Amino acid sequence: MSTQSSRFAARLMVAPSVGLLLIWMIVPLAMTLYYSFRLYRLLSPDRTGWVGFNNYLWFLNSPDFWLALFNTLALVGGVLIITVVLGMLIALLIDQPVKGQGVLRILVIAPFFVMPPVAASIWENLFMHPQNGLFAALARGIGAEPILFLENYPMLSVIGIVSWEWLPFATLILLTALQSLSSEQLEAAEMDGASALSRFRYIILPHATRAITVVILIQTIFLLGIFGEIFTTTQGGPGSASTTLPYMIFKQAIAAKDIGRAAAGGIIAVILANIVAYFLMRSIGKHLDA
Amino acid sequence: MGKIELTKVRKSFGDVHVIPGIDLEINDGEFVVFVGPSGCGKSTLLRLIAGLEDTTSGTIEIDGKDATNLPPAKRGLAMVFQSYALYPHMTVRKNIAFPLKMAGMDQAEQDKRVERAAKVLNLANYLDRRPGQLSGGQRQRVAIGRAIVREPAAFLFDEPLSNLDAALRVGMRQEISELHQSLKTTMIYVTHDQVEAMTMADKIVVLNAGNIEQVGAPLELYNNPRNLFVAGFIGSPKMNFITGAEAAKHNAHTIGVRPEHISVGDGPWEGVVGLSEHLGSDSFIKVDVNGIGVINVRGTGELHVHHGDRIKLAPAGKIHRFDANGLALA
């Protein structure tokens, strides 16, 4: 399948879908770019016009912006660290032959099927609630004051909730990586005198590098846009303590009804995502090659 | 030193008794080959010795010390796996040095030993490559290199040549034999290939369904098989077994005649040639003999007989006699 004509035919046949995908991507991006330079407020629709970089400057000068940027990166980084480390440990654990392995694995994967707002509500009301929550009950049980999670540690709470949701994904990918490791390699390492820790460090971890890379890349894409969990729980507060970039854009678009500023925020988010992607691909992208 | 002694070693997986009970003594410096059909328990036996499987009961002694419950690393044995089990993300150098690194050996000594092993195994030019960039034979040598740098009490080989092509297999077979000559270390070698067993072994252990059928030097097994199984397993093409009236003439339940111990020309057996394979050096023919059945004959390259020819055969060599239980009669 690599003669001149077959290659040409192949290009011809994928051309429509490539073209469609291009339009699919370009049109919204171009519209966002267009609006980001316009004065466009839904509350005063008759006042329109070009405003240059004013929408962008508003964002960059807003005291919340840098906090939101930091929160976004903290959310992505925090969830990545927690899910990869814990995911690896759980994967190692459930890779062991035990009775009821199938049921166990389904249980581990279950949180992934819970919708984000539902998951957030469960955590907010059943675990973190200062009166009714399980954690509050535990705290009272040992005679301590219940921790006000969403009030005092809003960002950490959100990171915790999102980690719980994404842990199954990381576990699942890492588990398949562990299962693809030949047992003879581990046995050879055992014969070579490697302790369990050395086997993990020198055999299992290098083998799982590619899977870890995949987990990090995919999760980063989704975590940059986390919104539902924040909306359901903290609403970006208290104050702006748990406002992330997507949430800030949402506030401009829906609460302030300022489409121009929201569009500018959207473009900033796209740039941020590209910067993150660039550094990710530079640092770990090489692991994707065989 | 590498004297290994198995006493009443049993291994069961649930209700399946893979090895119902084995006693075996392997002397220091011996090249012992475990041979048998697939599923006979030979790999399991090797893994029991290696410590990769727990024995159900019985004891394994290495150099006079009970090693039954020792972890693999503490037994001082090195193993070469069928799949080579090289570490794909490490260079050849790091692969070979891995056991030394795990033993906490200092870098200079590691380098020295790796260089020496690489020289012995012709790997010096490949030390900085990864296993994925090597051919099958080279990978095999890396696996052996990783085993020899540790200077183990004994080497365990689990069908190490089965992934190589025929020509390479002959070459590696000789290299392993030469390695044994120069190292004089105990080697235990598992294979289903009787040619490997016959050519390499000081002592062959023939296994069948988890039991030892016979232990002995290659030619001893060839000349004096203890029972029908060993007689049929050792030697290629397979020994001809004849029962009934023809066997009764020799006061036996079954007689066995090797294909190479049959002469063509004149004789008491007359039959029609079925299949004939002419290799140049040898001719393998199948003859349907009246009243006896199909007899395999190994003739010289000059034997020109073809399908449908009517020829006469005579046993010309040792006739092995077996009783009704399949045991050899003296």
**Which of B88, B102, B146 has its CB closest to that of A194?**
B102
* Cβ distance of B73 and A184 shorter than 8 Å: no
Residue by residue, pLDDT tens for chain B (330 residues) are 678 888 888 888 888 888 888 899 999 989 999 998 888 888 888 999 988 888 888 889 888 888 888 888 888 888 998 888 899 889 999 999 999 998 888 899 899 899 988 888 888 888 899 998 888 888 888 998 998 888 888 999 998 888 888 888 888 888 889 889 988 899 999 998 888 889 999 999 999 988 899 999 999 999 999 999 999 998 888 899 988 888 888 888 899 999 999 988 888 888 899 888 988 888 999 999 888 889 999 988 888 888 888 888 888 888 899 998 888 887
Alpha carbon B230 to its chain's center: 13
**B85 contact A CB<8A:** yes
Q: Are B139 and B61 in contact (CB under 8 A)?
A: no
Q: How far is B63 from chain A (nearest CA, A)?
A: 18
**Which of A182, A187, A198 has its CB closest to that of B102?**
A198
User: Which of A22-26, A151-155, A173-177 has the least mean pLDDT?
Assistant: A151-155
Q: How far is B204 from chain A (nearest CA, A)?
A: 25
pTM of the model: 0.79
Structure tokens belonging to residue B63: 């150099």
All domains of chain A, ordered by start, with CATH? 53-288 (1.10.3720.10)
Chain A: residue whose CA lies nearest to B74: A193
Give which of B47, B79, B158 to mutate to test A binding, by max A Cβ within 10 Å: B79
Tell me: ipTM over 0.90: no
Q: Answer yes or no: same fold for B4-230 and B237-322.
A: no
Q: How far is B284 from chain A (nearest CA, A)?
A: 40
**Which of A182, A187, A209 has its CB closest to that of B52?**
A187
Cα→Cα distances A71→A10, A38, A63, Å:
45, 28, 13
**Which of B83, B85, B99 has its CB closest to that of A193?**
B99
Measured between beta carbons, the chain B residues lying within 8 angstroms of A191 are: 50, 52, 72-73, 77-79, 99
The DSSP-derived string for B209-274 is TTEEEEEE-HHHHHHS-SBHHHHHHSSSSPPEEEETHHHHTTTSSEEEE-GGGEEEEEEEEEEEEE
User: What are the structural domain ranges in chain B?
Assistant: 4-230, 237-322
CA dist., res. B288 & res. B272, Å (int): 5
Chain B: residue whose CA lies nearest to A195: B102
Q: Does domain B4-230 correspond to CATH entry 2.40.170.20? A: no
- Pinpoint the alpha helices (H) of A147-258: 149-152, 154-179, 183-191, 196-199, 205-223, 228-232, 245-250
CA dist., res. A256 & res. A262, Å (int): 9
Q: What homologous superfamily does CATH list for B237-322? A: Nucleic acid-binding proteins (2.40.50.140)
Amino acid at site A52: G
**B184 contact A CB<8A:** no
Chain B: residue whose CA lies nearest to A206: B89
CA atoms within a 13 Å half-sphere pointing along the CA-CB vector of A272? 23
Measured between beta carbons, the chain B residues lying within 8 angstroms of A203 are: 87
* Cβ neighbourhood burial of B225 (10 Å; 0-12, 13-18, 19+): buried
* Cβ distance of A194 and B98 shorter than 8 Å: yes
Measured between beta carbons, the chain B residues lying within 8 angstroms of A190 are: 52, 71-73
Measured between beta carbons, the chain A residues lying within 8 angstroms of B98 are: 189, 192, 194, 202
Strand B186-191 with B154-158, pairing? parallel
Instruction: Quickly state the pLDDT bin for A106 (edges 50, 70, 90).
Output: confident
* Cβ distance of B73 and A188 shorter than 8 Å: no
**Which of B52, B73, B87 has its CB closest to that of A185?**
B87
